Amino acid sequence: MLDAVVMAGRPEEIDAPPSWLTPAERERAARLRHEADRAAFVAAHLLVRLAAAACLDADPARLVLTQHCDLHGPGHGRPSLEGHPELGVSFSHTRGYVAAVAGPGKVGVDVERIPDGPLDPALAASVTAPGERVADSRELIRLWARKEALIKRGELSLDRMRTTAWRPGPHVLEWECDGVLGTAVTDRPARRIP
């Protein structure tokens, strides 16, 4: 098994058939109102299979992604791959951009679009912990993506975001592309591949 793999790009760049999706994934995608949101959802769910396949040297069409939440049922909650409990998987999408990470142990990824305009003080107050300062929207979104990646690893929660200062996980990979900031936090070193 390789170290962690991060993949990201525009939804239309993800070369994988929607037939790989489970019935729960297809049902959830169909409920999204906007085509752009549907495309991002589907692309992220396909991309995480491609990232996992790169780690496992496996056929991505045979990888089954599952999610279950005690509150919301199937299709929600932390994702995992059937038959591969040793491999952590995570994905994120924002309109027009998706990312996925797969690797040994715990992983988390988040992508966020950088907003135009000045810093939103209310949003900053909901994200920054005591002692954390952000000077502009870019810094705020970077902090949000970092903390969201930790949430996806199970190390933080939304209700503790403004009380817990950012501390990097074992390995952090960050990038910026097409007006989007991305952060992946992994147990093993990560490499970003197209």
pLDDT of residue 194: 74
Number of domains in the chain: 1
pLDDT of residue 74: 59
**Structural domain span for residue 108:** 4-192
| pTM score of the predicted model | 0.92
Mean pLDDT by 10 residues, the chain (194 residues): 89 95 92 94 97 95 84 69 95 95 97 92 93 94 96 91 88 94 96 88
pLDDT of residue 117: 87
Q: Which two tokens stand for residue 79?
A: 């994702």
Residue 40 near residue 125 (C-beta atoms within 8 A): no
Place of tokens 């599952």: 66
- Taking alpha carbons only, the member of 20, 160, 175, 15 closest to residue 111 is 175
Q: Which two tokens stand for residue 110?
A: 């988040």
- Taking alpha carbons only, the member of 20, 88, 190 closest to residue 182 is 190
3-state class of 152 per DSSP? helix
Q: Please report, for the domain that includes residue 36, its CATH number.
A: 3.90.470.20
pLDDT of residue 175: 96
Q: Which two tokens stand for residue 46?
A: 């396909």
pLDDT of residue 53: 96
pLDDT of residue 78: 83
Question: How far is residue 115 from each of residues 39, 90, 98, 136, 137, measured CA to CA in Å?
Answer: 21, 24, 17, 10, 7
Place of tokens 């679009």: 113
